[in-house]
Amino acid sequence: MKRILYLMVLIVFVSVACSLPFGKDKETPTPEPEMPTPMTEPTAAPVEEEPTAEPVSGGGAVSNLRDAEKAVVRIVTQGAYEFAGYGSYEQSFTGTGFIIDPSGIAVTNNHVVTGAALVEVYFSGDPKPRQARLLGHSECSDLAIIDIDGDGFPYFDWFTNDIDLGLEVYSLGYPLGDPEYSQHQGNISKKNANTPTNWADVSNVVEHDALINPGSSGGPLVTSDGQVVGINYASIGSANQYYAITYKEALPILDKLKADQDFLSIGINGEAFLTDDGFSGIWIYSVASGSPADITGIKAGDILLEMEGISLAKQGTMSEYCGILRGKAETAVMGVKILRYKTGEILEGQINGRKLEVTAAGSAPDPGSSGGSTSQASGDYYTEEFNGDVTPWKTWVAAGDANKKFATAGAGVLRFELPSSETYAYVHNTDFVYSDVYVEAEYKTISGGRNGFAVICRASDQGWIEARISTRGQYTGSFELYRYDYNLKSRGQNPYVQLVPGIDRVYTNAIKTGFNTNTLGMSCVGNEIRLFINGMEQFTPNKKAIIDNVLTSGTTGVGGMSFSDGSVIMEVERVQTVQP
């Protein structure tokens, strides 16, 4: 099970981080087409004191770009999602939707809403959410219909002409989880762009160059007079290629979904994967309650291996899965084979038939070496829970008494005890050196006041890269990003170099303040640094990439800091690294 564990952790990392440029270096690299990425944005849901909103004024059909803003909504979902190697997380995602009927019927993408326990929508300029109900969805077409509380809403009409090359179009929505409405101009650059993806199998897609970003999923692509040409759902950001499901594909499907029916769906939210050694399947992040998959016994965290005796995702896409669904009636009985990732068991059963039963026993993924350690004995994927042998973990002090040891490991935790103010202590694993890596730690503050906790990558005799958050004191709820530079320290200068020039820290509601447990993750891939707090990617105010062109490789680890008001105690329960 080690192989599956490692590969599935990579899959979830790609999903959470969206379009990270993964891929191991080869001696003779061969360029491969880049797969599109879904445009959903993990984010912290806004905290609102009042649960209801005022009516939206100005009903009627949208006829220009100025009025289009009134009919585009920001969607915030909350639910429990299963991530390989990480377990179940209560996660918030944001996407975009648009209203197509004054009664509040709105369109979005399946991957935005399916499996969510709560769906809320926000109108531009209104901080108060409205509740929405999922009416129907199609995972193969990546479409969903929601019904927003209220009526008398402005709405969009559909484009009815041929979609010609060069047609001027506008992407509308709420990218990057930003509550500020966004509009970008572009043109249709390809009429038939049926690019395969690992989360849907759409047959009628156009390519355009009207910018979309994570969080734009489900937003409309419209003409200058506000008619909907398509629904944005994917992008290859590095190539400035953006994709929309055409109205011709969407309309017949949406008619079914509006009638409270699912279409080309068993009720899962998942992604296909294919490993280098040919292992393939569909990782299931969540399952819609009451769906055929749920009734059969499929759970979040399962891997769908086969359907009707056919192996799935053999090309790393959803084509086999969706091809089978297209050839079956909605109530047809279909055999399925499942790998239950948590236990290693193989289960078989039928959609719309008999429930899953274990047909081959298994065991939970092997957590690592013998002798009581819970470390994964591989540099590619490493989890340390601080039981057993922890000798690879070495400490050093960046500020404070360098002769003292402020961190101890054992009995399932790494414990920072910082008895005085302005003490910065770090611990890193000396066994493995990485270039591109994702490092994540789960920790909580036990006692004390102002503090900081950090994960680090590329630690060497030159310095390290550090992502730091604060849960107590003056800077509560903020994050900071630094490169530590030993050369500056040797010259008596401040060695902490801000990676976001001109910005000391950024505040976010993703951090659980006080004495709560937080998960802090950072990816260092190429020269780009990305930050994740409790599964939600964080962005700087200017939304620009965070770049470091100095450090290229080193070890990974964690750090604890006490600031100006005295002692701090923190405990780290888990440190995990993934090498792409």
Q: How far apart are CA 334 and CA 354, in angstroms?
A: 10
| Confidence band of 18 (pLDDT split at 50, 70, 90) | very low
Structure-derived torsion over alpha carbons of residues 228, 232, 235, 241, reported in degrees to the nearest 10: 0
Q: How far apart are CA 390 and CA 393, in angstroms?
A: 6
User: What residue segments make up the domains of the chain, in order of their start?
Assistant: 37-258, 381-578
Q: How far apart are CA 163 and CA 100, in angstroms?
A: 20
3-class state of residue 325 by DSSP: helix
**pLDDT of res. 14:** 36
Bridge partners, 345 (sequence order): 340
Q: Is the torsion defined by CA of 408, 413, 419, 420 positive or negative?
A: positive
Among 78, 76, 81, 91, CA closest to 118: 78
φ, ψ of residue 321 to 5 degrees: the values are -60, -50
Among 263, 226, 46, CA closest to 145: 263
Q: What CATH number was assigned to the domain covering residues 381-578?
A: 2.60.120.560
**pLDDT of res. 50:** 39
Residue 156 has pLDDT above 50, yes or no: yes
Instruction: Yes or no: say if 303 and 279 are a contact pair by the CB < 8 Å rule.
Output: no
| Confidence band of 217 (pLDDT split at 50, 70, 90) | confident
Q: What CATH number was assigned to the domain covering residues 37-258?
A: 2.40.10.120
φ, ψ of residue 91 to 5 degrees: the values are -125, 140
Q: How far apart are CA 456 and CA 437, in angstroms?
A: 10
Structure-derived torsion over alpha carbons of residues 303, 308, 309, 311, reported in degrees to the nearest 10: -50
**pLDDT of res. 31:** 34
Q: How far apart are CA 337 and CA 315, in angstroms?
A: 18
Q: Please compute the mean of the pLDDT values over residues 386-409 and round it to a whole number.
A: 85
Instruction: Yes or no: say if 473 and 450 are a contact pair by the CB < 8 Å rule.
Output: yes
Q: Give per-residue pLDDT as tens, 502-550.
A: 777 899 888 998 889 999 999 999 999 999 998 888 888 777 789 999 9
Instruction: Yes or no: say if 125 and 94 are a contact pair by the CB < 8 Å rule.
Output: no
Report DSSP state, residue 326.
H
3-class state of residue 118 by DSSP: strand
Q: How far apart are CA 74 and CA 511, in angstroms?
A: 22
Say if 37-258 and 381-578 have the same CATH topology.
Answer: no
Residue type for position 350: Q
